[in-house]
Chain A
Amino acid sequence: MSDVQIKKFVVTRFDPDKDEVPRTDTFEVPCQSDWMVLDALNFIKDQLDGSLSYRWSCRMAVCGSCGMNVDGAPTLTCKSPLSSYGDTVEVTPLSNFPVIRDLVVELDGFMEKLKAVKPWIIRAKEKAVEEGPYRQSPEELEDFKQFSLCINCMLCYAACPVVGNEPDFIGPAAIALGYRYNLDSRDEGASERNAIFRGEGSVYSCSFANECSEVCPENVDPAAAINQAKLSGLVDWAASLVLPRGGKD
């Protein structure tokens, strides 16, 4: 096997039945040189302390389960090689989220926000399946493809300075996913979603810190989506003043 190096892991622990507030535990882990942060957590769970709780599954950076703060930075732990960290590694739950247990955070708030932006194809009249697929050129696909790559790992929410201060803010991933449908040539719901983007927790809460895009493991660039949505929401609103029936049609 590969070289082994002992690293110290300082990990947040919180059990609501026992702990008033979160505390930390320290573990010494013999790390192989090709390990990711997640491998070390799995070592702790299997060999040192079976009670450590965290989420993980695919270990190939696509299921989005294993987001945590590593040395303070929102990180997909299955995609972050230990070799890029020092001898002591601090693992804490994602910031801006309530903590359920240890490294497990509350996701239902995000699920509500995601549903609120109507992340599905909206059509005035649905196309019958017998009519076959829509035509969509590779360029039209390119318009929204990047924003469809979001794995809902929540790193962007953990990095956003607005999310922690304004609970209503729809937030990076959900806006990117809603906006992704606005850009989809098959969709006709843009003005409906733009009204949502202008409403409670609006896109204009975003102060363009760009941190969501800095931490995104899939290069979705949610900051781009949010700030494009600001402009398109504004244009839509202005159009609705001129054409009171919503600007489209």
Chain B
Amino acid sequence: MARAAHPQAMQPKKPGTTRTAPPKMPDGFPGKGRYRTYVAFETTGLIYLLMGFIILRAIWQLGAGEAGWNGVMDAYRNPIMIGFHVLALVGVIFVGVRFFWLFPKAQPPRIGPVRPPPAAILKGMLYSVWIGTTLVMTWVLAGGAF
């Protein structure tokens, strides 16, 4: 059974002349069927919120000097933290893929006389930038730049 929607959903401002059965949310929303991917996409927001707290805490700990930093590093070796970061990685990839899938259609048909490239090329560009950035970051973090 579908859940109830907002009772005013798609109601005209001037109410109809006969009693209606209240609107229902789309079938399966939020947890089942076609909406699962979309809801999962939205839920990844929670991961980034948590991630934000973790980073904030890490920065805060820097105030405590080298001991604080080592504490943060120790905490990151905790299996729960590793699990969380793996989850976050999966979430980011998922969001990236979905975002890149939808991004081309959000482009205006043209800006002045210039048309955006075809969806496939646009997607290719996005993926190249993503993968490129990841490689550069990995190289930098691995100490390659210093």
Contacts and interface: CB of A to CB of B under 8 A. Distances in A.
Interface in B3-20: 5-6, 8-14, 16, 18-20
4 closest A-B pairs (Cβ-Cβ)? A72-B27, A164-B5, A98-B20, A108-B12
Contact of A164 (B13, B18, B29, B38): B29
Contacts of B10: 96-98, 105-106, 109-110, 157, 163, 167
Contacts of B144: none
Nearest to A171: B10
B27 to A, nearest CB: 3
Given A161-B26, A165-B9, A228-B108, 5 more contacts: A69-B27, A72-B27, A164-B29, A209-B35, A211-B38
Interface size bracket, B side: 35 or more
Contacts of A221: 105
5 contacts: A100-B20, A106-B20, A143-B109, A158-B26, A228-B108
B13 A214 contact: no
A73 interface: yes
B106 A16 contact: no
A230 interface: yes
Given A72-B28, A161-B26, A214-B34, A95 B5 contact: yes
Interface residues of A, number: 52
A223 interface: yes
Nearest to A161: B29
Interface SS, B side: loop
A161 B20 contact: no
A95 B12 contact: no
Interface string A123-161: 000000000000000000011100000000000011111
Contacts of A163: 5, 9-10
Interface of B: 2, 5-6, 8-14, 16, 18-30, 33-35, 38, 42, 102, 105-110
Given A72-B27, A99-B21, A161 B38 contact: yes
Interface string A61-96: 000000001001110000000000000000011011
A72 B1 CA distance: 10
A111 interface: yes
Contacts of B35: 161, 209, 211
Contacts of A209: 35, 38
